[in-house]
Every structure is written in C-alpha cells, then in structure tokens.
C-alpha cells in the first residue's frame, strides 16, 4: 500500500494533468485509485475492496485477473508482443478469426480487426459505402439509425449517435447528416405495436436510394439511454433492408458475448446482419481489440473493384497479445455455463429491482440478461452518488438520470445482492443523490 503523501501527490497530478472520460481539467469529480483487481473486486489504495457492478464498461465478463486469461497473455508475450499486420500475419490472428467465423452465422466469414469499438463502427461504415461505390451506386452515402443510440466517439460513429440526447451535439455542425427514425417502444414481442416501425419504414421508402446502410444496437441501446426493445423490431428492419437493398450493420460491441442472454443479441430475432461489429468483452476486458465481420459478397465486390482493396489499416490491427487473450476469453466463455449465470443474474435483478418502480422518483426499471437499469425522473448528482456507492463497498458508475449495472458473469448471489441493496438504498433516499 502506498504511503499517504505519495498517494496524495499522484491524485493531485491526476486531477490537474489527466483527462478522464467526459471530465474537465482540473477534474472536479473525485477519482478512486485502484491498486489491484481480482474476481469481481477492485482494491483501492486505502485497502477498501469494491464489488464491481460495471465489469469495466461491459468488458470484464470473466472477472479480473483470471488465471486462464493471464496464461494466454504470458504465453504470447514471450514470443512477440506486436508486429505490423501489413504484409505479415501470425497464428493468434488466424486462430481468433477462425473462432469468430465459427461462432457467428455462416454468412459472416470475413474478419477485419481494429483496436476499439469506435473504430470497428468506422470500419463498418466505410465498408458499406465502399461496397456501394464499387457497384456504381455512389449516391448511396447516407446511414439510417434510430434515436437514443450510441456507437462511439470518433467522427463517423458520432454521426450516427443520437443528435439531440447524445453526447456529441457540440460537433453536430461538423458531422455528416444522416437519417434518424423514432426509437421503438415495444420491449417484448408480446407488446409489439406495428406503429413502432412506421417512422423507420417511411424514411426508407422515401430515401432508400441515398441510404447505404442501417446501423443499430440490437435489443439494448447502451450509452444513449440504456433502452431495451423487442426482437420483432429487428425482424421488421431486416425485412425492410432486404426489400430496399440496404445493408444492415449491427453494433454488438456492448451486447456481444452473452450480455443479453444469447451469445449475440441478434440471435434472439433470428436474423443475420450484413456487417457485424464486436468489441468490449471480446478480450474479456484485458486489452483493447475489436472486429468487424462481413459476408463473402461484400468483401468480393470491394476487392474486385477499384481501388481493389478495402481502405483501412490501423497500426495495432490484430495485435498478437490481444488476439491471444481474445481467443482464450471466447473459449473460456463457451466452456463455462455462462448462459445459466446470465439468467441467474437477470432473475435476481427482476426479483429485487422491479418492485421499486413504485417509488415516486423512479421513472422506469429495465432488465435484460446481465443488465439492470433504474431510470430516475431527475438528473442525479453523479459525484455524490458515486461516493455513496463507494461507502457501501460497491462500484457503480451512473450517468444523467440512470443508475445501472452490468456485472461480470461470475458474480455470486451474495455479491450481486450487495450491489442491488446499494442501488435500492441510494435510489430510495432522495437526500443522497440530489
């Protein structure tokens, strides 16, 4: 454990010199120094242990410091940590690509590796536009998505995030202008209302000649509002894309690898995208890596028309360390009862969170797989509520008016109960979060 003077010096430097996500400098919001992590626990510099209800933004699905994933990293680093992917290849990339092709629908057989989810979305957008240029339909350069979505922080990805309620309206004058349909309201197929697809259908009918692709987060919208919608909507979208010859991009960066109860969320709609984006849990949270998968048809048309290559190539593309731990993480997932664990988490969340919908300050409760969301009627004081969670030895990172969790799949019932109780206590006492 560090002495207090050293720790104070480090925190002061952090506050005045380091940007954290969506913060100012100097940072007015306290940050909590972590010195170790194991299982579902984060150990702070003062020795306190916190149960991590966030899985480090969806990614650490197996928990921290897993021996199987550690071994994959150790075994690879002694061989090579990185080589360029231009003109060279290596076994970890080939092995990971083979596994991704095996676990996704048969139509998705081409893999492009990148270094983050945002870049995977950029790759997908470029892929769709280059495809239509290759077939001579250069007018198809627009995208269609739904409101309340989030697809990343880079410019192409920002352009398909919600333009009003999203985090990027500051840059709206610089971004390409795309089409936004109303977000669906039906949460389950039993609640399906055909009017949910009306806005989307109207835009496609009028503008399909301009639209290169549709991009959606399937079933669960993430940072745009943590909203849940039903599989029927995805089925209707797929039908309309087929009718109007529009490519369908599904952004499974947040939902992929079991988070919603199926390996990939789109499986619950029994559809297949033309382009699929994966990231976050791909490596079990160990390293930054993403992948964009597509079909033989799309890759063949791009590759057989000028300029004859796909125009993208990140420096750290297919990093061997990341590919090695990603393969290990996927194999670990497949070899464990992950689906049972996710369903147990969902059952426990429903049992204890749904009843607090009766609280006057609660606007909504949303639960899907290993995701639990409490939407409040007012925006919260994040710094204050964060401190309240830490007092209860829990790590939950709320934003705007949302208090939500997406824990590692390995979380035990008692550990999850501690997180749930903290959520209920804090949300129930308005004095704690106003």
Catalytic residues: 22, 150, 251, 280
Closest among 347, 365, 349 to 401, alpha carbons compared: 365
155-158: long-range contacts, CB 8 A cutoff, minimum separation 24: 156/121, 156/122, 156/125, 156/126, 157/118, 157/121, 157/122, 157/125
In what helix (H) or strand (E) does residue 49 lie, and over which residues does it extend?
strand 49-52
- Give the H/E segment covering residue 324: helix 320-334
Sign of the dihedral through C-alpha 23, 416, 378, 230: positive
Backbone phi, psi, residue 181, to 5°: -90, 160
| Residues 36, 42: Cα–Cα separation, whole Å | 6
Question: Cα–Cα distance between 143 and 149 in angstroms, integer?
Answer: 13
The vertex-375 CA angle with 188 and 150, nearest 5°, equals: 70
H helix intervals, 18-81: 55-58, 67-77
Q: What is the DSSP string of 186-253?
A: --SGGG--GGGGHHHHHHHHHHTTTEEEEEE-SSEE-TTT-EE--HHHHHHHHHHHHHHT-EEEEE-T
Judge whether 414 and 367 are in contact, CB under 8 Å.
no
Beta strands 247-251; 211-216: pairing state: parallel
Q: What is the dihedral angle through the alpha carbons of 20, 431, 388, 150, rounded to the nearest 10 degrees? A: -40
Which token pair is 272?
A: 């297949």
SS3 289: coil
Q: Are 89 and 97 in contact (CB under 8 A)?
A: no
Distances (CA, A) of 222 to 47, 147, 215, 260: 32, 12, 14, 12
What strands, in cross-sheet order, belong to the sheet with 362-367? 362-367, 372-376, 402-405
Q: What is the DSSP letter of 150?
A: -
Strands (E), 321-377: 362-367, 372-376
Residue 434 CA to residue 425 CA, distance in Å, equals 14
């Amino acid at each position: 454990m560090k002495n207090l003077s050293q720790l104070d010096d480090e925190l002061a430097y952090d506050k005045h010199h380091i940007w954290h996500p969506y913060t100012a400098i100097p940072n007015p919001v306290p940050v909590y120094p972590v010195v170790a992590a194991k299982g579902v626990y984060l150990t702070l510099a003062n020795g306190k242990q916190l149960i991590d209800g966030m899985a480090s933004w969806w990614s650490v699905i197996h928990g921290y410091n897993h021996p199987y994933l550690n071994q994959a990293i150790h075994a690879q680093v002694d061989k090579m940590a990185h080589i360029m992917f231009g003109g060279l290849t290596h076994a970890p990339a080939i092995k990971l690509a083979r596994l991704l092709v095996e676990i996704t629908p048969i139509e998705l057989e081409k893999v492009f590796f990148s270094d983050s989810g945002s870049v995977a979305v950029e790759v997908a957008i470029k892929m769709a536009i280059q495809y239509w240029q290759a077939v001579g339909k250069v007018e198809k350069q627009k995208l269609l998505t739904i409101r309340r979505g989030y697809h990343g922080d880079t410019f192409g990805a920002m352009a398909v995030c919600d333009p009003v309620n999203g985090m990027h309206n500051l840059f709206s004058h610089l971004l390409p202008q795309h089409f936004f349909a109303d977000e669906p309201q039906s949460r389950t197929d039993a609640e399906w209302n055909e009017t949910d697809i009306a806005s989307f259908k109207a835009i496609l009918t009028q503008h399909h000649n301009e639209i290169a692709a549709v991009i959606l987060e399937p079933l669960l919208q993430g940072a745009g509002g943590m909203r849940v919608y039903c599989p029927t909507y995805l089925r209707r979208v797929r039908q309309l894309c087929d009718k109007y010859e529009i490519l369908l991009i599904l952004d499974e960066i947040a939902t992929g690898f079991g988070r919603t109860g199926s390996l990939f969320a789109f499986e619950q709609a029994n559809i297949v995208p033309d382009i699929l984006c994966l990231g976050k849990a791909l490596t079990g949270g160990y390293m930054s890596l993403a992948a964009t998968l597509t079909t033989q048809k799309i890759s063949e048309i791009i590759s057989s028309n000028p300029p004859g290559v796909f125009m993208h190539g990140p420096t750290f593309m297919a990093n061997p360390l990341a590919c090695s731990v990603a393969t290990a993480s996927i194999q670990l997932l497949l070899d464990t009862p992950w689906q049972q664990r996710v369903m147990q988490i969902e059952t426990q969340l429903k049992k204890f969170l749904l009843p607090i919908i009766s609280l006057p300050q609660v606007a909504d409760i949303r639960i899907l797989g290993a995701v639990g969301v409490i939407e409040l009627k007012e925006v919260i004081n994040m710094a204050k509520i964060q401190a309240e969670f830490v007092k209860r030895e829990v790590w939950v990172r709320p934003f705007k008016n949302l208090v939500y969790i997406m824990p590692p799949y390995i979380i035990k019932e008692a550990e999850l109960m501690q997180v749930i109780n903290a959520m209920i206590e804090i949300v129930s006492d308005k004095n704690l979060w106003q």
